[in-house]
């Protein structure tokens, strides 16, 4: 069984998280410069078996797509072309950055460390992945 990889796509930086091989836990992986994301993903799936990629899909409170959606759609198109054998799933990512900040505070992370957006991005990807895992186990 392969891993599930989650992406919290951003215009400059993208947070990544991945499951263990048994798909029990979600773990923050790292933050990658978005310009390097496709090549990084190609390299990663050559080293690790990835069965599914979950892309955070940002919506506003009223359910409308956020301003980042066109960039995410373009990225997904490129991703599907580069990795055609791996399903790409969109998953609602509302509130993940807020939840990431709350988790950092609850975990006792210092304010200076919480201001590091790279930490927030990979933690947001982990929250997306945890939510996705919860949704498939509830089926």
pLDDT, tens digit (0-9, with 9 covering 90-100), for 59-101:
776 777 778 889 999 999 999 999 999 999 999 876 555 555 5
Give the pLDDT score at 68. 86
All residues at 6 or more sequence positions from 46 whose CB lies less than 8 Å from its CB, including other chains:
none
Roughly what angle, to the nearest 10 degrees, separates helices 37-47 and 69-82? 40
Mean pLDDT of 27-46: 96
Mean pLDDT of 51-62: 87
CA distance 25 to 22: 8
Does the domain formed by 3-137 have CATH 3.30.420.140? Answer: yes
Say what the pTM is. Answer: 0.84
Distances (CA, A) of 73 to 57, 69, 89, 122: 9, 6, 12, 20
Backbone angles phi, psi at 7, to 5 degrees: -125, 125
Name the residue ranges covered by the structural domains of the chain.
Answer: 3-137
Regarding predicted confidence, which is higher, 18 or 121? 18
């Amino acid at each position: 069984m392969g891993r599930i990889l989650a992406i919290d796509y951003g215009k400059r930086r993208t947070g990544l998280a991945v499951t263990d091989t048994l798909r029990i836990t979600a773990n923050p992986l790292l933050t990658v410069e978005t310009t390097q994301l496709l090549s990084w993903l190609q390299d990663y799936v050559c080293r690790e078996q990835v069965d599914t990629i979950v892309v955070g899909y940002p919506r506003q409170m009223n359910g409308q797509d956020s301003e980042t959606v066109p960039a995410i759609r373009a990225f997904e198109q490129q991703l599907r072309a580069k990795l055609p054998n791996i399903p790409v799933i969109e998953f609602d990512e509302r509130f993940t950055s807020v939840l990431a900040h709350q988790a950092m505070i609850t975990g006792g992370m210092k304010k200076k460390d919480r201001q590091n957006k790279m930490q927030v991005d990979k933690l947001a990807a982990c929250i997306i992945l945890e939510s996705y895992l919860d949704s498939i186990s509830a089926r």
